[in-house]
A = this chain, B = another copy of it.
Amino acid sequence: MDRIGVVDTMFARFDMGSEALDELSGCPGFGTTFEVVRRTVPGFKDLGVACKRLIEQEDCRIVVALGMPGKAAIDQVCAHEASQGIMLAQLLTSTHILEVFVHENEEEDPGRLAAVCVDRARKHARNAYWMLYEPEQLTRNAGRGVRQGYGDAGPIAG
């Protein structure tokens, strides 16, 4: 059975990992074609190596990495470092890792921020499923302004 990894953090202020898990559990083949492995790390700088370990040691074929950069200026630098770690983990393993970051300052209202978390986590969990089993879903949407967390921007009227 294939394995899809889900890694999230204690630092984040919304349980995005559970959203991703729930979305994957509703995809065709869950429990028969693929199963899901979850890990939680302290903060988003720990995501890169956690993903790499899931790929190397737990045979995950793709991983969804979820984190929430805080509001402070230093958090932006840390988010950049965390992203570089996830990028490097992808390139050293030749395996896709979908980065799902929701910046705490994307929305002031907690309810709206939570809605962004839910939408982005679920859409990227679905993307992970598509990349493994239905890549044509991605190709038919090439260049169409598809977004996660919010509604699609759509193609430009060129």
Contact = CB atoms under 8 A, between A and B. Distances in A.
A33 interface: no
A25 interface: no
B92 A91 contact: yes
A3 interface: no
Contact of A158 (B9, B99, B111): B111
Interface of A: 8-18, 38-42, 45-46, 48-50, 52-53, 56-57, 68, 70, 74, 76-81, 83-85, 87-92, 94-99, 103, 110-111, 113-115, 117, 124, 127, 131, 135, 138-139, 141-148, 153-158
A15 B143 contact: yes
Contact of A142 (B9, B79, B143, B146): B9
Contacts of A90: 48-49, 85
Contacts of A11: 145-147
Nearest to A92: B91
A45 B87 contact: yes
Given A85-B87, A95-B49, A143-B12, A158 B74 contact: no
A114 B117 CA distance: 32
B45 A114 contact: no
A10 B98 CA distance: 14
Chain B CB within 10 Å, residue with most, of A9, A79, A142: A142
